Structure 1
Amino acid sequence: MKRKRKNMLSRTLFYVLLVLILVISLFPFFIMLMTSLKPTNEAISYNPTILPEVVTLQHYQDVFNPALFPFLTYFKNSMIVSFLAAFISVFIGIFGAYAMSKLNFKFKSTMNSAFYTVYMFSGILLVVPLFKIISSLGLYNTRTSIIIVMIVQTLPTSIFMLKSYFDTIPKSIEEAAMIDGLTRVQIIFYITIPLAISGIASVFVYAFMVAWNDYLFASIFVSSSGYFTLTVGLNSLFATPDYVWGRMMAASLLTALPVVIMYALSERFIKKNLVEGGVKG
C-alpha cells in the first residue's frame, strides 16, 4: 500500500512539474498571440491586459501586405535556403557518416575525434574566412552564399549524428548484401538509408531548423532586401516606420509556424517508421 501511494505521489509530482514547465515555455508564445490580436493602441496601453478587449486580424493582413512587410518574399528565401541547405547537408552527410561508420581507412579515429572539436568553437569564428572565400567566388549577396555557409555549419553535426544511427545497423546485413552482389553505393541506397530513415529525418529537421533560424550569417552575406530571410527581415522591420508591436508579433508567429509544423510532421513520420520497423523485425 505504501509503495503504491509512493508511486502515485511520484507520478503526480512528475505531471505537475511537466505542466509547470509547459506553461512557462509556452507563456511567451501565448503573449505573442494575444498581442498580435490586439489593436495597436491596446497593445501599447499603460494598463496592459493579457486577453485582448477587442480582437483584430489587421496585423496579420498587414504582414501579407508587400508595401508594409514583404513576408512572402522573405518566406520564399528562407524556405529555399533552409530546404536546400538541409537536403545537401544530409545527402553529403549520409556518405560521410557511412564511411566513418562502416569503412576502415587511415586516420579514421583522428577524423572521428575531430568532429567533437567542432562543438568547442563558436560559429562566429568562421565569419572572416567564409566571407573571404564567398567574396572571392563572387557569391556575396546571393542566396547561394547563405546555402553554402549553412551547409558548412550543419555538415559536421549531420555526419556525427548519422554515424550514430549507422552504427546500429548490423554488419551481417551488409555482408549478406555483398554476397548477393550489391556494391557499396547500392548498399547505402537500398539498405542503409531505408533502415536509418527515421534518423535521417531527424537530422534533416535539425539542419532545416538551424538554417531557418540563422540570423548571423544571413545578415552578413546578404545586403539586398530581395534576398533577406525571415529572421533578417524581421530585424529590419524594427528600423521602419511601419513597425508596431502587434504586426511584429504576428510576423514572428508566422515565422515560427513552419518549423513547428515540420517538427510535428517529422515526429509522426519517425514514430510511424519505428513502429513499422519493430513489426517487421
Structure 2
Amino acid sequence: MVTNNKIINRIILYCLVLLTVVTTVFPFLVMLSTALKPNEEALEVVPHLIPKTFTLQHFKDVLNPDIFPFWKYFMNSFQISFFTALVSVIIGTLGAYSFARLEYKGRGLIQKGVLLIYMFSGILLVVPLYKMVTLAGLYDTKLSLIITYLVLTMPVTLYMLGNYFRTIPQSLEEAAIIDGLSRFQVIYKIIVPLSIPAIASVFIYVFMIAWNDYLFASIFIVSEKNMTLPIGLSSLFHTKHYVWGRMMAASLLSAIPVIVLFSLVEKYFAGGLTEGGEKG
C-alpha cells in the first residue's frame, strides 16, 4: 500500500513538472514557429506549430537598419542594463555587508525601511521619479533609466546579498583582520569570492529587470537614439513594416543576451564555495 502511494505521488509529481515545462516552453515554440513562417502561413486560420515552409527572411529584415534599427536599440538596452547591474552589485555589496556585519544605531530601522519601496507598485513611483529626473536635467537620457532601475532593484539586492553574507562564518573575517586586512580588504578578498553565487544571481536579476522594463523607459525616453529594445519593439507595431513574423523574430533576438548571461554564470550557482572556505 505504501509502495502504491509512492508510485502515485511520483506520477502526480512528474505530471505537474511536465505541465510546468510545457506551459513555459510552448509560448517560445510558437514565437519561433511564427518567426520561421512566411507571412501568409503565419496568418492562416488554422495555424501549424511546425512551419510548412521555413524562412529566415524575418530575421534578416529585423537586422536590416533600413527596416528596424535593432542594433541601436540593442546597444542602448545592453549599456543601461549592464551598468545598472554592475553599480547595483557594487553598492549592494557594501550596503548588504553593513547590514549583515556592522553594528550601528538605527541599522534595523534602515534595513526595514529599504524594503518599504516594495509596498508600492511601479506605477505609483512614476510621478515622483519623473519630477526628480526632470529637476535634475536627466530627462531623455540613459542615466535617468540607470538611476530609476537602481532605485527599483536595490532593496532586493540588499536583501539577497545580506542574507547570503550572514551564512559566511565570521571566524574567516576575524582571522583576516588579525592578519592585518582592513574592512574593505575583507569584503573584496574574503566576502566577495565566497559570495559569487549570490552576486551572480543579483546581477542577473537586476540585468533582467532593466532589460525587460517598458513602463519607465516609455516615460523617460522620447528620442529614438536613446530608445531601448522594449520601446523599439512597441514602435514596430505602428510602422508599415509591422508583421507578426518580424515581431516574433525581434522578440527572440532580444532574449539572447539574458540566455547567454545566464549560461556564462551558471557554473557559479553550484554550492560548496562557503564550505570550501571553511575547510581552507
Q: TM-score, normalised by structure 1?
A: 0.94
CA contact (8 A) 2:100 2:165 kept: yes
CA contact (8 A) 2:194 2:273 kept: no
Aligned-partner SS, 1:240: coil
Q: Does 1:58 align with 2:57?
A: yes
C-alpha spacing 1:89/1:71, structure 2 compared with 1 (3 Å): same
Other-structure match for 1:71: 70
Structure 1 residue 278, shift from structure 2 partner:
4.3
Other-structure match for 1:99: 98
Other-structure match for 1:181: 180
Distance in 1 separating the partners of 2:273 and 2:165: 18
235-244 or 109-118, larger mean C-alpha shift:
109-118
Q: TM-score, normalised by structure 2?
A: 0.94
Per-residue deviation, residues 203-231 of structure 1 (Å, max 9, x unmatched): 11111010001111111111011111111
Other-structure match for 2:17: 18
Other-structure match for 1:167: 166
Distance in 2 separating the partners of 1:265 and 1:12: 34
Structure 1 residue 116, shift from structure 2 partner:
3.1
CA contact (8 A) 1:38 1:54 kept: yes
Q: Which amino acid aligns with 2:176?
A: A
Q: Which amino acid aligns with 2:2?
A: R
Q: Does 1:37 align with 2:36?
A: yes
Distance in 1 separating the partners of 2:132 and 2:113: 22
Per-residue deviation, residues 120-159 of structure 1 (Å, max 9, x unmatched): 1112222222222222222211111111111111112111
Other-structure match for 1:239: 238
Report percent identity of matched pairs: 49
C-alpha spacing 1:99/1:136, structure 2 compared with 1 (3 Å): same
Q: Which amino acid aligns with 1:57?
A: L
Q: Gapped runs of 5+ residues in structure 1? A: none
Distance in 1 separating the partners of 2:141 and 2:114: 29
Other-structure match for 1:147: 146
C-alpha spacing 1:278/1:98, structure 2 compared with 1 (3 Å): closer
Distance in 1 separating the partners of 2:27 and 2:98: 44
Other-structure match for 1:202: 201
Structure 1 residue 172, shift from structure 2 partner:
1.6
Q: CA RMSD in A?
A: 1.5
Q: Does 1:81 align with 2:69?
A: no
Q: Gapped runs of 5+ residues in structure 2? A: none
